[in-house]
Amino acid sequence: MKRMIECPTMKRLIPMLVLASITFPLTARGKPTVQPTPATSLERVATPSPIQVDPFARLKRVIPREALKPIRSVRLYDQEQEVAQSPKDKIKVIIQTRPRGALVKWGRRTLGNTPVALIAPRGSTPADLVIRRKGYMVLRTRVQRRTSRSYFFKLTPAKFH
């Protein structure tokens, strides 16, 4: 018995067995009887109340909602511009790059060197452009053609080792 107690595993196991036998005593039939433990003061405090109150409800509102102006989005601006101009109008899209002189391609069609101006009917499909210049990385972008506007792209130098 002395060797069993010297074993580190048994030293941890024996107090747990003793604690288990005190907590769950067996009845005559071999089933454990569970004795209810009295609730401590901490458990009584931790139980939530049946009615939850919003903690922010009592805070005073600093800025009234009427004082804030709605933020105009880019889409709303585009929609207003489309309504203001008839759909038969032509739009002008200008493509600029730094450095200048980059080649602009739309599919297989070459549009020219920057700065480039595209003229198209309003509401036509977006244009997928490829912008190239020697010594710089290739730039692929999609240009919307809803309203007349100008696009500016700064090309990134290619690193050669």
Q: Do the domain assignments include residue 53?
A: no
Residue 135, pLDDT score:
93
Q: Do the domain assignments include residue 120?
A: yes
Q: Once rounded to an integer, what is the mean pLDDT over residues 72-83?
A: 69
Cα–Cα dist 23/25, whole Å = 6
pLDDT at 159 over 70: yes
pLDDT at 9 over 90: no
Share of the chain above pLDDT 70, in %: 55
Task: Give the torsion sign (CA, 37, 41, 47, 49).
Answer: positive
Domain count, the chain: 1
CATH number of residue 117's parent domain: 2.60.40
Share of the chain above pLDDT 90, in %: 30
Residue 103, domain extent: 86-154
Q: Do the domain assignments include residue 75?
A: no
Which range, 5-9, 51-55, 102-106, has the best average confidence (pLDDT)? Answer: 102-106
